[in-house]
Amino acid sequence: MQIHLREVVREVRSRILPDGSGRASTDETAALLPLREEINRLEHSYEQLCSIRHNVGRMPASPNTARARVGGVLVRIVRQMLFWYTPQVHAFHDATVEMGESLCAVMDRQYAALQRLHTEIAELRAELRVRGAASVGTSAAQFTAYDSGFDHLLFTWRKERSGPGEERRAELHDYATHIDGLAPPIPDGPWLDIHCEQGLWLDVAAARGRDVIGIEDNAAAAAYCRQRGLNVIAGNPLAHLESARDCAYSVVSAMEVADRYSPVCVARLLRQAVRVLKPQGVLLFEAVNPASLVTAAEELWTDPGATRPWPMQTAEFFLQYFGLKVVSRHGLQPYSAEERLPFEELEFIQQLNARLYGPRRYALLARKPAGALGDIA
């Protein structure tokens, strides 16, 4: 049986380029280019083999001269003497052609497998894009509460770590005094505390006659505050802000909130906080200070709920980006002299202490411009 190898090779190539124009999609062309080049080289090689095969045992063309005729007679004599060799040459070429047919079949199956692989990869890429979009679209889900067991564990740990709270209450009283002393004064209206935890800020604001509300997604913390008679909503902070009307609060506080969430979630929360803030209202932002290297390396990560540090410059940029003006900056909870390096009369020790033992926390007070309504970002 005679096999038309060139037709087989052309058929394989036609399957790679079904339109016959030599053009394919950019991705597929790039991925299958090595295979197409191999098929091109295979076709060229077997065209040469087929050409040689047809010439085996045939007399080459010669001019019509006496010398050529004598040479032809001698060549025919030699060919008759090598009668046993010519069939072997034919057999070799036939075997080579058969091997080429098998090789083309293997490459055909490999190409089919590559096509299936391309299809699967395209489907996976599409699925990943959908999943990626879904994860961005549902970033508010990161604000949902933990399970009740972990809520209680986390709240108990934070409550015991904070200690009696006298020093913390003093800091909060300083915040309230600073806010009450702003000029022009803040507008009337309720205050909102995001992640109120033990409710210390609620106590301080209520003692000054303020109508203050807490929002807490830790069920154990919310229950603790309610037992103390505080007005606390248990739920998703971002969902609460999104459902609130424009310009609803005169003060919104987000203390030790940014450390717990991704930058995307923090940005969404701050944007909504600015929207619900009244003109001339105040946003109080507090976070662990990563500029203090000891705090950033150790104390920040002792909180199981911490996800990443927030430098003051980053927080200030976020607040300004959403239209607020930072009016004051505060360094909180400094290290004592006993905790710092000795010999502070030396300049390089002073610089080292400033880097290692800076304030453990910082706070920013930012105001919404007068006349701004709703979402100004």
What's the pLDDT at 160?
A: 82
Instruction: Give the HSE-up count for residue 258: Cα atoms under 13 Å, Cβ half-sphere.
Output: 28
What's the pLDDT at 135? 44
What count of Cα atoms within 13 Å lies in the side-chain half-sphere of residue 240?
Answer: 21
Please tell me the predicted confidence (pLDDT) of residue 17: 46
What pLDDT does residue 15 have? 52
Which pLDDT belongs to residue 109? Answer: 72
* β-sheet bridge partners, residue 251: 191, 282
- pTM for the complete prediction? 0.61
Question: What residue ranges of the chain have pLDDT lower than 70?
Answer: 1-33, 35-36, 39-40, 43, 46-63, 68, 71-72, 75, 78-93, 97, 100-101, 104-106, 108, 111, 122-147, 163-164, 372-377
Amino acid 67: pLDDT: 73
CATH of region 148-367: 3.40.50.150
